[in-house]
Structures are given as C-alpha cells and as structure tokens.
Copies of this chain bind each other. A is one copy, B any other.
Amino acid sequence: VSGSVRLHVVLLAGGSGTRFWPLSRTKRPKQFLPLAGPHSLLRSTWDRVRRLAPASRIWVVAPRTLASDVRRELPNLRRDRLIAEPSPRDTAPAIALACARIARRDPRAIAAFFPCDHLIGDLRAFGRAVAAAERAAERGALVCVGIAPDRPATGFGYLKVGAKPKAGVASPVLEFVEKPDPARARRFLRSGRYLWNGGMFVWRIDRFLAELARVAPEIRRQTAAVAGGSLAAWRRVPKISIDYAVMEKAANVAVVPLDAGWDDVGSWDAAARHASGAGGRGARVILGSDGSVVFGGERLVAIVDVPGVVVVDTKDALLIASRASSEKLKSVVEAVRAAGRADLL
C-alpha cells in the first residue's frame, strides 16, 4: 500500500453499459464483464487500487439495484463502504455523495476517484502519479490525473496546461476542452500541452466540499442530506457530470500527468484492442479476418474473410459490428427497443 494514511479511494461503478450490448444488459452493465482480461473491470480496478489503500479505505459508489452484484464481485469490500445511489445521476452527485460520506468519518481525508473502465499497464507509474496528485491535493489543489495522449483521439475531453507536463509534477489546468474534432485533436497532440481527461481525481475532501458549496450549492445541500440519511433528497439532485458541475468552474485545479499504458474500455473497439484475439470459451476458426474479435459465447464461431469486426455472441442476441462503428451501438439499442425487444436490453 503506497498511499498516505489519509488517502481514501472511491471507485465509481455506475454507468448503463449500452455500449457493450448485448454482453452488457441493464441488469449486468459493463463493469461486471470480463472485457479485458480474466476478471471483471470492477474487480480489476479493485485489485489495482488495493496498492494505494487498505480495504478499510476503499469505497464503491454503485446503483442500488446492483449492490448485491458489487458485493459478490468484491468480497473484501467493507459492508459500510458501499455507497448505493438510489438512481443514476451522473458523476457530480456520485462524487459529492461519496465526499459527504467520507467527511462524516474523516473531514481531513484526501480522496482519489477512479472510474471502473480503465486499463493501466504500468502500475508503478500509476502509483507515482497518484502520490504526486496526493501531494498537490494536500496543498489545496483539486487534482486531475491527466493521461499523456499517444494519438489524436476525438473521444476524450482534454486538459490544457501552460507547459509540457512533467511526470510527478502538478500543473495548473488552464482550460477544459470538450471532445475535439480530428484536426483539433491533431494540433493538441502536436503541441504537447494537452492531456486527456480520464475522469480520475484526487483532492482534500474539505477543499472539494468548499468549492462544491460555492459552484454547485444545490448538489452540496442535497447530497449532504442524503449522506445524513435522507435518501429522498436524492430526487432533487441534478443529473450532471463532475466536469460541468465543478471542475470547469473551480479554483486551483491542477493536473498530474500519467504515462502508464493507459486505455479506457469505452467501446467494443477498445475492448478488442485488449482481447488478444479471442474472448469467450467456444472454439474459434478465424480465416482471413485480421482484427476480428469474438466476445462471449460457448458456441464455435467461424469468421471467414470479414476483417475488423467485433462479434458478440450471447444466448439470446448476437451482434456483428464493424469495430469502427462502436459508437453506433446506441442506435442499435434504440432499434432493438423499437422492435419491441426491450427484454433483450
């Protein structure tokens, strides 16, 4: 365990998982799927953050409906460390609620927040980046862990800094930039002064709650009520992301760079990059089909001269999609619903 005794870790395990249909379903979203290895994404994330803090200081925010699934997947999660959201409200309420809950135990704690759909190859570099973020947080910054980009990705938000970021050093964030178009993304990459916003944050709870009260007082008020036991207050919490609600408006926001073989598992295409050619337990016969990957399924799957596709084989639904079209899955899910088969979602 490398974190300080003040460091609490919070895993953000919400999300509907539409993008991983048909393997993910309403009742089994992506964090419960072994999309990039033998374990579920949730379990892999738990194993990773156990290097940062003991189980007594690891928290999980998850939808109430999935609480028993989380406990099954994380047998070492402490009973009172699971924060159940009555309904999905995006990241700002989830993070605010976690901070309110942690503050009741340790108002001077530092908290680090991690989504559950990341892959990180170099765990030592990850630990060093979190330690640097923790040091900056001690001094009062709201710290993003920003990913050193290795391609002009258009699917992430970017964090602008004043000079080329250096490992272990926190720099002030000059601007939050939403997902750019390809030309802009190429400029960002060339400039060396942009990092991807991966949704990982580290801060002192007291500092965050003070900023929250200033820039999003309604969220502060209602989540404090929920933390105090009034679950009904959750209904009055606006649904909004942490970036929009807090980070873009807060003072003293910094970023620490992470260069650790990071990827997020945000689409079938990303999962395919880490699936090493085959998922599922069934036999595979893949001829003339470079880059095609099969997920799920016990059946034999044969692919002949169909390169670059992802095949997702489940008991009652089968998806065959161009890897480049991962982003279209929302329309598929809508079409399935329109066809009267919401039972398959």
Residue positions of A touching B, CB distance < 8 A: 22, 283, 285, 287-288, 297, 299-306, 309, 311, 313-322, 324-325, 328-329, 331-332, 335-336, 339, 341, 344
Contacts and interface: CB of A to CB of B under 8 A. Distances in A.
Contacts of A285: 332, 335-336, 339
B313 A320 contact: no
A20 to B, nearest CB: 13
Contacts of A328: 287-288, 304-305
B332 A287 contact: yes
Report, nearest first, the 9 A-B pairs whose CB atoms are least far apart: A304-B321, A305-B322, A305-B325, A300-B317, A285-B335, A301-B318, A302-B319, A303-B320, A304-B325
A336 B304 CA distance: 13
B304 A306 contact: no
A304 B283 contact: no
Nearest to A315: B299
A288 to B, nearest CB: 7
27 contacts: A22-B300, A283-B336, A285-B335, A287-B335, A288-B325, A297-B318, A299-B317, A300-B316, A300-B318, A300-B341, A300-B344, A301-B317, A301-B320, A302-B318, A302-B321, A302-B332, A303-B320, A304-B322, A304-B325, A304-B329, A304-B332, A305-B321, A305-B322, A305-B324, A305-B328, A306-B309, A318-B318
A335 B304 CA distance: 12
Given A302-B336, A318-B300, A332-B302, A283 B341 contact: yes
A322 B287 CA distance: 11
B299 A316 contact: yes
B305 A313 contact: no
A84 B305 CA distance: 38
A198 to B, nearest CB: 27
A320 B332 CA distance: 19
Nearest to A301: B318
B318 A299 contact: yes
A339 B285 CA distance: 9
A302 B325 contact: no
Contacts of A331: 287
Contacts of A344: 300
A311 B320 CA distance: 9
Contacts of A317: 299-302
A314 B300 CA distance: 10
Contact of A320 (B302, B314, B315): B302
Contacts of A322: 304-306
Contacts of A300: 22, 316-318, 336, 339, 341, 344
